[in-house]
Amino acid sequence: MSSAERNDFLNFEGNAQGFRVLTQLEYHQFDGGTRLTYATLGTYLKYPWTARHADSLGYKKHKFGCYQSELPILEQIAHKLGLPQLEEQRWARHPLVYLMEAADDICYALIDLEDGLEMQLLEYAEVESLLLDLVGDDLPQTYRQLGAQDSRRRKLAILRGKAIEHLTNAAARAFVEQQDALLAGTLPGDLVEHMHGPAKRCVLDAKDMARKKIFQDKRKTLHEIGAYTTLEILLNAFCGAALEQHGGRTPSFKNRRILDLLGNNAPNPEWPLHASFLRMIDFIAGMTDSYATEMAREMTGRSSPQ
């Protein structure tokens, strides 16, 4: 493979895989995919560049939005939408990306805190305080009417709704204020960075709280380690089978059986290695957690007890 092709596999990137799913894999397989409009695909492309720029931009390191295989599609979208080309294989982001990204940041920042409460990793008081700092005196009447008998979950749900309203309005205001830079393709960072004081502080503090108190929890760490082990087993098996048959070589009986699992989606021995590996990534990335875990167990002879 070329160095550009190898870079596609050095860091698995869900954004690039998602772009491949939308444009190649779902519905009309390798014939337009979901056949979304150019504007919709442009809004999806948070990182309209390939892996060659993933480590050089200093913006969300390792992120990229397109494999080499979908580069012609990215070029077509950029041309149709008039996205300014900044470098080879890199374009400015579509203005609507910033709204989509802000919506993503707002929702996940707050939902992660609720997950932290459910897991008893956060105190209700610290989450409530963070949201009240944003909402201030603009409390819903339903919240003011709550009594001691009402659950914390109900209190937080009402408060979260009002917080999302404030954050949405702040994002919209920042979008309007930054219109010139957005249209020129020169706005640095994301929209949250350009939101005003309390709103920006709420999102950043919520992310910081989740990072320090939830994502570092031992239970989550053990799940992550288990996931790495599962993926390692699957990648070794499937990519190993693709490699062994590459160039028309005859794979072992075991690897023939592995290739059989893909049915009609198995890579052709005559394909370039990049295309073969991507087909294996497609299969693994499309698995549910439980299916991937069970398959890895079966492959190592440790099937679940009946």
Q: Given this model, what pLDDT does residue 112 score?
A: 86
Q: Which of 152, 155, 299 is nearest to 230 (CA)?
A: 299
pLDDT confidence of residue 47: 94
For 35-79, what is the HEC assignment?
CCCHHHHHHHCCCCEEHHHCCCCCCCCCCCCECHHHHHHHHHHHH
Q: For the segment 1-21, what is each residue's pLDDT rounded down to a tens digit?
A: 999 999 999 878 999 999 999
Name the CA dihedral angle for 74, 75, 77, 79, rounded to a multiple of 10 degrees: 160
Which uninterrupted H or E stretch holds 87? Answer: strand 85-87
What is d(CA 76, CA 45) in angstroms, rounded to the nearest whole number?
A: 13
Mean residue pLDDT across the chain? 90
pLDDT attached to residue 60? 65
**What's the confidence (pLDDT) of residue 202?**
93
pLDDT in tens, 171-229: 999 999 999 999 998 998 899 999 988 999 999 999 999 888 888 888 878 888 889 99
CA pair distance 116, 209, nearest whole angstrom: 9
Q: Which is nearest to 44 in space by CA: 84, 87, 101? A: 101
Smallest CA-to-CA distance from 202 within 112, 298, 296, 89 is with: 112
Q: Please tell me the least confidently modeled range out of 66-70, 120-124, 170-174.
A: 120-124
User: 24-38, 51-65, 74-88, 121-135 — which is least confidently predicted?
Assistant: 51-65
Residue 217 confidence (pLDDT): 82
List, in order of start, the domains of the chain with CATH numbers.
3-93 (1.10.3210.10), 96-213 (1.10.3410.10), 218-299 (1.10.3550.10)
Q: Which residue has the tokens 């105190």?
A: 123
Q: Which residue has the tokens 């997950």?
A: 115
Angstrom distance (rounded) from CA 135 to CA 148:
21
CA atoms within 13 A on the CB side of 121: 18
Does the pLDDT at position 238 exceed 70?
Answer: yes
Query: Which pLDDT does position 150 carry in this prediction?
Result: 67
Tokens representing 109 are 């920042």
Does residue 169 surpass a pLDDT of 70? yes
Q: Which has the minimum average pLDDT: 132-141, 239-248, 249-258?
A: 132-141
d(CA 6, CA 144): 57
Residue-level pLDDT at 69: 96
Between these two residues, 304 and 295, which has the higher pLDDT value? 295
Q: How many CB atoms lie within 10 A of CB 46?
A: 20
